[in-house]
Structure 1
Amino acid sequence: MSAPVRDLTPPPSAEIEADVADALAEDLGGGDVTADLLPDSADIAYLLCKEDAVVCGRPWFDACHRALDPNVQIDWRVAEGDRVAKGTVLVTLRGRSRALVSAERASLNFLQTLSGTATTTAAHVAAVEGTGTRILDTRKTLPGLRLAQKYAVRVGGGVNHRIGLYDAVMLKENHVRAAGSLTAAIRGARAKHPQLPLIVEVESLEQLREALTEGCDRILIDDFDAPTRREAVRIARAAPFDGRIPLEVSGGVDLAGLRAIAQDGVDCISIGGLTKHVRAIDLSLKLGPPPG
């Protein structure tokens, strides 16, 4: 089975510029008092990656530096989404020394955070390679960086779940309780938002059959143990349902147990840790020409 095609389309430039404006404003305040000590002359810098990683966040990095020096020359040695080894020089920059050091922290914050998300996602995608199971993210993102982190998941080979509370209907336990039954909740959602995807979370095999019978776009089997999960797959793929509605697993998922879940035949596994438990990639920006 071929590897999934990654979507490397970044968010709209206006979104990236807004992210960068916020980051620079909180870092620079009324001005970089330390950079003022430097001569404002032409200089060169390079960015070193200090661990193996999947590179992600170039548009934000570039925007940070160009916001402070529109004439900065940025020469990337790697492409967005590339896997790089520890010790790789990622990019060289030529511009005003004060602007280079003033943009350093904000630009690295974006690049190391998004590369961390992409690298973690790539590890999860690799764990299920060949099974046909897709790795999905969740809404458990860093505040203000929803679109950026969702993009990083795609760069790492994952697939986005709903972006927010507006682009898909997702029925959970509380919605079912309020509606009186799962069937009533599904019918109410279809009547009110017929144009939106409908995802239904079920808590038992009985609810699974109810959701399959009533119809939706995806069924989330949350916290099922392994035997129940395998039975859910069997039911969903057997007549009269014939696998038409994908099954998603969520809850209690870690990297070590990921492949076993995928091998049970589920279509998707959603993992909050892709964007919630972020470990930034170790990067270092150094003034001067790159080694070698």
Structure 2
Amino acid sequence: MTNGAHIQTIGVSHTYKGGGTRALGQIDLEICPGEALALIGRSGCGKSTLLHILSGLSLPTEGKVLVDGTRITEPSPSRIMMFQAPSLYPWMSVEQNVGLGLRFNGKMNEAGRRIPEVLELVELGDYAKRNVQDLSGGQQQRVALARSLALKPEVLLLDEPLSALDAFTRHALQRDIRRICKDLGITLVLVTHDINEAVMMADRALVMKADPGDIEAEIRIPISGDRLPSMAAFGDARRELVAAYEAAAGMAMAEAQSFIPQDSLNTPTPIDRLAAN
């Protein structure tokens, strides 16, 4: 188990060069070690920009990001980003792809022990020798997750890596990523448009508004144990997030509701039954 990082942003804002577009206003934010935080909002609200700044891939125009008290000026293997595409090498096996981060960081001496460990964590222990081209989209994202975990990160940042998956595969990965991060003590920050995904994965959700990007609302999601869409607490958190999303986006409730699946809150759904297995 690792010690998840403490993250703090102080007066972070960002203006893109050239057009002068102000993507972020002034963001003051604290993320506790081991917390799962969702950044949610419509396209253009700055949530991906903020995620990239937290990772060190981008630097803010103003302000600073501190991780465990140290100012962030560049990326680090302790803060791993997962993107929408798994970005695997198709001619390599599963275990070869998983070991890439170890290779690039001069840690291949750990590969013999670490690769089997993380493949078991993501339920791909029997796939080590398989070529990644033979895997489904969900399995390929599990390979990308295993590659991310191999370096024992303190922070895992998700830029909608599950958005292209079908509902069942996506739900299973949402559940497993949350479980793995909690078990290992990893601080998790995810960007999503999907309100259900925020409720499924996060301890807290920040709803962002645009022009410039800023935090409109903070919604805590204190649901212990496994989370199912049919749970009353899940429905309560979802409704609170929809209302905050509506206010931030300036849309009607009916339009905001269209962004979330309309499965019943009281009747077990196929996704509920999948999660229970």
Query: Normalising by structure 1, what TM-score?
Result: 0.32
**Structure index of larger Rg:** 1
Query: Normalising by structure 2, what TM-score?
Result: 0.33
